[in-house]
Structure 1
Amino acid sequence: MKKFIETVKNIWSIEELRNKILITLSFMVIYRFAAQVTLPGLDGSVIADSLNSNSGGAGGILDMINMFTGGGFSRASVMALGVMPYISASIVVQLMGIAIPYLQKLKKDGESGNKKITQITRWLTIGITLVQGPAYIASLPSLGIPAEAFIMGQGNTLFWITSLVLLTTGSIFAMWLGEKITDKGIGNGISLLIMIGIIAGFPSAFAQEFASKTTNGGAGGIMMILIEIIVWFAVILACVYLVTAIRKVALQYARKTVAGTVTDVAGSRQYIPLKLNAAGVMPIIFAQAIMFVPSALVTADFTSEGVKSVAAMFADFSGVGYNVLFATLIIIFSFFYTAITVPTNEMAASIKRSGGFIPGIRPGKETDNYLDRILSLITFPGSIFLALLAILPAFVIKFGVQQSWSMFYGGTSLLIMVGVAIDTIQQINSHLLNRHYDGLMKTGTKRKSVA
């Protein structure tokens, strides 16, 4: 505890780090404030009463989007779409970078190419928002917004125009906030905005679970709450392991000669860190999007009763069929997304150019094959672990846990919170290592910054 307090003091004593943290917190507060502003033409008090009387969720991708936006999606806020259009645009650009030569060229152009890709992503974000905005406005009644909440009427032209403009503006503003946090603050801005949206639903979810177990003769009482908290911490530890686990591939560099001088780096070993879960939470997001199709088929009028019955089985969030298919899709997408984001051929070429080699493996094609085989071997258990965490909320519901609280037992929400927290802490540690050596290490002296 004493070391933790000392570390906090060291963080606050570094002006640059202190300012970055304050800027990050300020922007996050602004984002949360904007998420509470209801679209003009809607009665916020009526929506709030409707949400209080219907605290449960239907599960699926709509609940995931609502969690990512901190409740703004179900509240019909000006930030209802949040950073989701930007995330969609980023995924599209990343996937298109495999097939479109122009984007491939931009990736190789360094900083200038990255700026152009960022600009393309921004414009695509606006385009996606202009498509998602009208769809969201039209689906407000099906999302639980009562008819009496529409002051001007849902079909009013002015309501549609102002809502679409504000939804687009809200997404652009969220994107701008995320980029500013990344540039001026600490951590990845977009990820932090998603995380703060998820955390915003934590108090109410826990309060509902606590009330269900302790009031009106609820099953379990305080003891059951304690057991749930212990299990929750165990799941968090499992998530930390999944996010941080790596397979170290030994790497060695040959002896180099520069202008007649021999630089002896032979024998100095390094390693290539291959992550157990290189795909992150993307497989869950992709799989969740596909699992939304059965829900759409259930409500479609043109489908037969047989198709509807099968679709209803797979649309049940806690059903066996849903979770088996969901886990299978996650495993498939884990391999797919890892193959896209971890180009072993480029890694092998880079190692060869720098004069490095993996002991016992020839540079070039053999190195590529070796890295690809290692990556496939570690991706399989990583994908199974990820799938188990993703379907864990469905299991805890069977034990009487409220659905809103069960979402924090795994899946996208918990993995994002753990991943973002680890990334942010690592960035803070980097600043501390540069200025306060004693803040993190057992030995050494405190280094003073040079003005």
Structure 2
Amino acid sequence: MFAFIQNIFSIPELRRRILFTLGMLAVYRVGCHVPTPGIDASVLAKFFEGTQGTLLGLVSAFTGGALKRMTVFALGIMPYISASIILQLLTVVFEPVERLAKEGEQGRKTITKWTRYGTIILSVIQGSGIAIGLQTMTGPAGEPVVPNPGTGFILLTVITLTAGTAFIMWLGEQITERGIGNGISLIIFAGIVANMPSALVNSVRLMKTGEITLFISLLILIIMALAVWAIIYMERAQRRIPIHYAKRVVGMRNVGGQTSHLPLKINMSGVIPPIFASSIIMFPATVANLVDVPWVQKIASMMTPSHWLYNLFYVAFIIFFCYFYTAVTFNPVDVADNIKKQGGFVPGIRPGSATAEYIDTVLGRITFAGAIYVSAVCVLPTLLISNLNVPFYFGGTSLLIIVGVGMDTASQIESHLISRSYEGFMKGVSLKGRRG
């Protein structure tokens, strides 16, 4: 382990990228403790004591506790994710955006710019709803969360929360460009991991006081260990389609005659579906929690992670986004055309459109299996933990994000090690044509 860390930090560029990423995440964590002006933090903390295991508790977990403390980063990165969802949907149904997506680097820059504008608009809308809702919230004794409500407080809160989300968006883009890993995913990862120490300490305290038994604690650990094993196994699982290449004469040589395969991951969309599904459910449900109307409150009580209606919508959105994201990122027609141009074919399948249909059929089947796996990981542990009355939220969605982002980041570090330290990996290996 120490040798591996030493190899990582022995490469100047990789060391710089890792330290830059850690520095940006540290800035994010500091911002999660900078309070929004005009709010009584003690009263707000009492209000959030009853939200553990509810949707507000889940939102607070994704923001690293920033929402519970109502800091400048209270909105988190969810407005950016929602804007990305809207732009990706428009890519499929709106032709001008679809043309932009096919224009290469310049088109992607335009879509990124539109995503930033959409993030600001959604942040203003969500910030306004939170600011209005805060003025109606009270503590257990009826004390107001906002001592001096009014238009000034609403404007100040909206500007503060919107600026905080814009800064997080900038941090994520900087990490992606100059650091290691996907910046947005790492920010969500950091927010979830930040809640783990307090959750573990709270669990130990409850075990000492006898509120939860040792058997239940061991059962939860076993469930989490099995979930981690299932995530690692399924994230590495592939369906390999055999590809044969016919022999061709190129100049004076015979080229081809080889057998390869087309690897299709079972879960090609990664952690995107649960993140997208959570962001869609969070937006209306969070607003409903802040509106003091009886029928709205009834709906808000149903949209909690332990309620069957929430889980029904959650699973439906996960399955939809598994298919949607796979369709956006993988085009069977283009893959079939590339195989045909290289003189390859799938045994028993005609090249061209028949190959594209075959790949699409296989992809649809394994995507369904991947969607069921993601849904099970995200929903089943949450239901079991809620039925066991665990006083903190750490369900399957969090585990999937932690393991998935961790594996993706480790993979990028490994790629840098291979590309920058090739000679180090090849010590003691004799290659044909290599001179000592």
Please tell me whether the aligned partners of residues 242 and 276 of structure 1 are also in contact (alpha carbons under 8 angstroms): yes
Structure 1, residues 40-95: CA drift from partner, whole Å, max 9, x if none?
122335434655xx1642523x3333222111122211111121111111111111
1:150 pairs with one of 146, 152, 156 = 146
Query: Could you say if the C-alpha distance between residues 214 and 397 of structure 1 is closer, same or farther in structure 2, counting changes exceeding 3 Å?
Result: same
Cα pair distance change 1:236/1:121, threshold 3 Å: same
Structure 1 counterpart of 2:351, from 363, 366, 373: 363
Report how many residues are paired: 426
The one-letter amino acid paired with 2:102 is: K
| Cross-structure match for 2:413 | 428
1:311-343: CA deviation from partner (whole Å, max 9, x where unpaired):
589545334565456445544553444334433
Matched, 1:395 2:371: no
Aligned 8 A contact 1:7 1:439 in 2: no
Matched, 1:202 2:193: no
Q: 1:17 aligns with which of 14, 31, 43?
A: 14
Alpha-carbon deviations, 1:176-232, whole Å to 9, x = none?
1111111111111111011000111111122222222221x33423x6534432332
Q: Is the Cα contact below 8 Å between 1:357 and 1:363 reproduced in 2?
A: yes
Q: Percent identity?
A: 39
Question: What is residue 162 of structure 1 aligned with on the other side?
Answer: 156
Q: CA deviation at 1:100?
A: 1.9
**How many angstroms does 1:355 deviate by?**
3.7
What's the offset of the Cα at 1:22? 0.5
Aligned letter for 1:410?
G
Instruction: Call closer, same or farther: CA 1:439–1:198 in 2, change over 3 Å.
Output: farther
Question: Aligned-pair distance for 1:252?
Answer: 3.4
In structure 2, stretches of 5+ residues that fail to align are: 431-436
- Secondary structure, aligned partner of 2:230: helix
Contact 1:245/1:275 (<8 A) preserved: yes
Indicate the SS of the match to 1:408: coil
Opposite residue 150 of structure 1, the aligned amino acid is V
Hey, what does 2:396 align to over in structure 1? 410
Q: Select the residue among 114, 119, 127 that pairs with 2:121.
A: 127
1:242 alignment partner AA: M
Provide the C-alpha distance between the structure 2 equivalents of 1:161 and 1:332, rounded to a whole number of angstroms: 37
Q: 1:178 to 1:286 in 2, by over 3 A?
A: closer
- In the alignment, the residues of structure 2 paired with residue 357 and residue 366 of structure 1 have an alpha-carbon distance, to the nearest angstrom, of 10
State yes or no: 1:68 paired with 2:40. Answer: no
Question: 2:19 is aligned with what amino acid?
Answer: L
Alignment of 1:10-409 (within 5 A): 10-48=7-45, 51=48, 54=49, 56-60=51-55, 62-140=56-134, 147-151=143-147, 153-155=148-150, 157-215=151-209, 217-221=210-214, 224-258=216-250, 260-262=251-253, 264-267=255-258, 269-285=259-275, 287-288=277-278, 289-290=280-281, 301=293, 314-315=302-303, 317-320=305-308, 322-323=310-311, 326-328=314-316, 330-397=318-385, 400-404=388-392, 407-409=393-395
Greater alpha carbon shift after TM alignment, 229-238 vs 280-289: 280-289
Cα pair distance change 1:15/1:325, threshold 3 Å: closer
Q: Which amino acid aligns with 1:274?
A: L
Shift of 1:439: 7.2
Q: Name the CA distance, whole Å, in 2 between partners of 1:387 and 1:142.
A: 36
Q: Give the aligned CA root-mean-square deviation in angstroms.
A: 3.2
Report the TM-score when normalising by structure 2: 0.86
Code of the aligned partner of 2:257:
A
Q: d(CA) in 2 for partners of 1:402 and 1:130?
A: 35
Q: Is the 8 A contact 1:210 1:225 kept in 2?
A: no
Equivalent position amino acid for 1:198 in 2? I
TM-score normalised per structure 1: 0.83
| Deviations 1:98-131 (CA, angstroms, capped at 9, x unpaired) | 1222222222222222222212211221122122
Separation in structure 2 between the aligned mates of residue 65 and residue 213 of structure 1, nearest angstrom: 26
TM-aligned CA distance change 1:107 to 1:371, over 3 Å: same
Runs of 5+ unmatched residues, structure 1: 446-451
Q: Which residue of 2 aligns with 1:448?
A: none
CA deviations on 1:351-401 (whole Å, 9 max, x unpaired) are 334443223222221111101111122122222222211212333235535
- SS state at 2:243 partner: strand
Q: Distance in 2 between matches of 1:276 and 1:161?
A: 47
